[in-house]
Structure 1
């Protein structure tokens, strides 16, 4: 009888092995990050471990097309391993020179209809990128990818740092979703978004205070839709979801039409036992390539803009002259002239204004509405960016009068139809030598590399909401301590910050009181990264804030050669260092209710005398020279809602 039990037990073990068979394994070049791919009951899965600790448990792979199903009845065919490496430069991201090395794996599966799909992985130190390669399906050379089952199964000890996907066709003039929701820090695993729409990329996860995982995607262009994370299940599974069909006013497919053979965008997973590799990752840029050659050497830098504080009434010739003069006095490269310039200034006077700006060594960027038929936003110029013929006519005029860039607003969706509009605007703008910033827009997904004239996206609860919402003003420091770890970690973030008015109004009095200190505001000029930084300085700040603040803002760069994590915890405090050429800046902000005392290790400043901008106990900013000791250590205090900068 015992022998029979042994035989049955052995058979059950054998069946378990057959049902769950590991098909491939891949480790990072440093051996810390391990990917395992396996099949079970005709389905494909993967898992991820870091330093021997499981960070993603059995997680599903696969997708469904209108021609065939690649999510079930899969049989493993083969696995091919290799290596990839490249060196590249890009002045628009957090690090200007990058050396990328990864081990590669392509696992091929076949479904019941003998159709093949491959899953391509690249595993570098701290990062995994994966995407699907779809072969022709019988005689079909095209297909619609309808959904994915790609998922991320987290251990139950995980907490989350996520931002909800906005409901479609809601908000101002039905312009949502625009990636402008807030975050909840250290939320329970599997907690659904309040509107049931899931969560945007990127998403940050803390696994038992022992490991961190950052999820995102990259390489999305006109050939695919963008995606987001589902609501998590009660046991911690998040999956890739395609756009809600109601986006874009219901127009366009929620899936992706692709030519075969074809590839999906990359899903990226950054894994570490500290936040340093999360802040410093370059994986969104490592796995993508430029899609076209730049028509010229594009210029990036700093900008003034009247609208953020002076709002719509400032859209007139005289006020814009004041902000040109402000840009000139600050030695900034640009002025942004925002919505309604077409009606309030007009094209003829805009020619004069552009020439006046040029006489002051300031280049002009103009705001445009993306509409279109996607929403009801009324501000002009409208219907100039949404069709090829009108867009090229307008861009020809813009080039003729000397405009250097555009800020295009109000997109509201992740469908392939909208991704095509983003790409068409960028591609046409390159033909006319125009840089492009997107506002009211989706997350950029590798676009700094893919599109040479791309200059940033909002896709965040940005400075305009500090004007409009008391709740956002109350949470300004909280959100600022999240962005370096999440949103700004994966792409340029056009926040529009550094507001030095005590009250966020033109009169600088009575309402919209700013709750953060001046040192906090200066720190965000370093913490927030975008190749064109639009700062909220107003002409009165030249005389009503300490002169050393203006001197600091005259010298702050917008382009960085290196980014280094120093210390922090998302939602509590953040301290990072950035280098421009030979000049280091170290900046931090505190969202806690108590004074934060920290001993910092700053090897890049060892033995150097630096400028130290900080708040005193009365929350007033001061500036002094400070020598960093021979150990590169410094003890600091950061006031609540305050900040500091070392330069």
Structure 2
């Protein structure tokens, strides 16, 4: 009897202990409303903080380090839990001017956990879980004066049997970092390879196929509001742990800034840092369509956005890079008018052409809204910037393409929201080039309509490997770069350049529909536009620059991408092949073509590099199409 009592007591004690551990884990975790995604924090005996992420109870981010090292305080060890907030739900419902799906509507489950260090100073971790993934951020809630952050030990531990698609983060140079490198297919822990330039880390967003290929993860950043530099991932990922790294001090190609030996993040207290975002899905299409980065970004700061309109633009630089004459700018304005484009882009050298030939007046007389190029160094000083924006608006300019930022330093990321705000006051759109990665800014500042930060079609001039790798990149970037924000890829580009194109003509045209950009700047010459078949010309005239609804039909990064796109009463299916082998796709056209009787399909012509084949068919359930190597197709449904 005594033994039974002792055994019962031991079992009861063990149960209480396990229940207590479970309660502690639940207290330091948050789960999405659908119960699929969960982030959990843990403290070890040394007071070091870690976290992991699960989806459907399968681990997608292994135990990973958290912590901050400040100039005056240490939040790496000796941490204890001081407070745990209630779990709350917040609904984020909004519309985007540039989107795969016009409306976003998600429930965010949130919790804030306060930790104290050995000196009694506090730091808060805000946790978020949604149906699209999880996120966390650090926050110093109290104090006065300025705080400097020397290191952030945040890591992302990826299982070593996973596959990754990562872009090298280039060392500072004349035009770097500019997020214009190839995404390489690599394994966690592998060193940097295949970079265009010397590199000091990996870029975000970073894509991984994890959990024995059952889950997809995208590591990214959101927000920051100018109080933090752009972050990337350190080059040393031994064991599969990628750690946060800050912008380098020498990233100041165009910055009118004093020398700094080390460019540490610093801000006045209280200080809220950017979200570390982990998008999670069962397939790569879930990643492509995610709005988690904008769900976490601040809501629009522009009350009246009716003047912000997406559209298309003709653009002379790609076909005539050395011709800055009034005649060439006017010629491309006329191309915009002929194709019903809303905009025309005047690139570098436009000021002289305008003095000589009144190219802006010509555009306005044609009903075309002019966009003009500018150099980033002109836009750091607020007085000078505001004066310039007023001058441009008075001239009839509708938007600015500001080039050569080439830095992730905090001074740059603090300037960009000021650029968006000052431009909005004059009803000007903003396009960033030679720039950092967007971080959900197109929600907060909807006049930010597109950005480079992508290895686009200008690479046919500069990069010998681009022709061979372009098709593959076009099936990776929609799952990585374009998830972070609108991407100015400058599609079409049929004329052969220094490094001749290998993608088929329809593949190049299809990129105008696989990338998302608030303004699509079409590359190539007037002669190429005029030589297109009538059906392709009509497609260009009708083609929207943003979408109401998108569905992924085929989502295989590096291999193939097929999307169903809708805008109003326009409905399309577009596909591209990223490989050197034919790729057959099967699609239920009856499903996607409801309400339509026929469809038009554009594919490769007799000369695949320059020609198009156009056919019209009656809609049937069964549809198969063999995409040519580096090829593609576009289907437009017809009433």
Q: TM-score, normalised by structure 1?
A: 0.89
User: Is the Cα contact below 8 Å between 1:617 and 1:639 reproduced in 2?
Assistant: no
CA offset at residue 493 of structure 1?
A: 0.4
Whole-Å Cα distance in 2 between the matches of residues 293 and 485 of structure 1?
28
User: Is the Cα contact below 8 Å between 2:164 and 2:208 reproduced in 1?
Assistant: yes
Unaligned stretches of 5+ residues in structure 2: 1-5
Q: Deviations over 1:149-176 (max 9, x none)?
A: 11111112112100000111x2xxx131
User: Is the Cα contact below 8 Å between 2:132 and 2:292 reproduced in 1?
Assistant: no
Unaligned stretches of 5+ residues in structure 1: 372-383, 505-510
Is the alpha carbon distance of 1:295 and 1:599 closer, same or farther for their aligned partners in structure 2, counting shifts above 3 Å? closer
User: Is the Cα contact below 8 Å between 2:96 and 2:446 reproduced in 1?
Assistant: no
1:360-399 alignment runs, 5 A limit: 360-371=366-377, 384-399=378-393
Asked whether 1:43 is paired with 2:51, we answer no
Whole-Å Cα distance in 2 between the matches of residues 235 and 105 of structure 1?
30
Is the alpha carbon distance of 1:637 and 1:438 closer, same or farther for their aligned partners in structure 2, counting shifts above 3 Å? same
Is the alpha carbon distance of 1:327 and 1:50 closer, same or farther for their aligned partners in structure 2, counting shifts above 3 Å? same
User: Is the Cα contact below 8 Å between 1:500 and 1:545 reproduced in 2?
Assistant: no
SS in 1 for 2:51: strand
Q: Deviations over 1:473-492 (max 9, x none)?
A: 22111111111111112211
| 1:375 paired residue number | none
Asked whether 1:310 is paired with 2:320, we answer yes
Whole-Å Cα distance in 2 between the matches of residues 277 and 471 of structure 1?
30
User: Is the Cα contact below 8 Å between 1:567 and 1:574 reproduced in 2?
Assistant: yes
Is the alpha carbon distance of 1:517 and 1:126 closer, same or farther for their aligned partners in structure 2, counting shifts above 3 Å? same
Cα root mean square deviation, aligned: 2.4
SS in 1 for 2:389: helix
1:108-507 alignment runs, 5 A limit: 108-137=114-143, 140-168=144-172, 170=173, 174-185=174-185, 187-194=186-193, 195=198, 197-207=200-210, 208-248=212-252, 251=259, 254-290=263-299, 292-293=301-302, 297-312=307-322, 314-342=323-351, 344-346=352-354, 348-349=355-356, 352-371=358-377, 384-501=378-495, 503-504=496-497
User: Is the Cα contact below 8 Å between 1:248 and 1:418 reproduced in 2?
Assistant: no
CA offset at residue 70 of structure 1?
A: 1.4
Q: Deviations over 1:224-251 (max 9, x none)?
A: 2111112242210011111112211584
User: Is the Cα contact below 8 Å between 2:283 and 2:555 reproduced in 1?
Assistant: no
| 1:644 paired residue number | 633
| 1:377 paired residue number | none
Asked whether 1:106 is paired with 2:115, we answer no
User: Is the Cα contact below 8 Å between 1:191 and 1:231 reproduced in 2?
Assistant: no
SS in 2 for 1:534: strand
Whole-Å Cα distance in 2 between the matches of residues 163 and 555 of structure 1?
34
Is the alpha carbon distance of 1:547 and 1:470 closer, same or farther for their aligned partners in structure 2, counting shifts above 3 Å? farther
Is the alpha carbon distance of 1:356 and 1:294 closer, same or farther for their aligned partners in structure 2, counting shifts above 3 Å? farther
Is the alpha carbon distance of 1:637 and 1:318 closer, same or farther for their aligned partners in structure 2, counting shifts above 3 Å? same
Asked whether 1:604 is paired with 2:592, we answer yes
SS in 2 for 1:460: coil
Asked whether 1:627 is paired with 2:631, we answer no
Which deviates further from its counterpart, 115-124 or 393-402?
A: 393-402
Whole-Å Cα distance in 1 between the matches of residues 243 and 619 of structure 2?
47
| 2:508 paired residue number | 521
Whole-Å Cα distance in 1 between the matches of residues 374 and 510 of structure 2?
30
Number of residue pairs matched? 606
1:57-68 alignment runs, 5 A limit: 57-68=62-73
Q: Deviations over 1:195-251 (max 9, x none)?
A: 451111100011122211001001132222111112242210011111112211584
User: Is the Cα contact below 8 Å between 2:491 and 2:509 reproduced in 1?
Assistant: no
Q: Deviations over 1:357-396 (max 9, x none)?
A: 111111111101112xxxxxxxxxxxx3232232222222
| 2:76 paired residue number | 71
SS in 1 for 2:383: helix
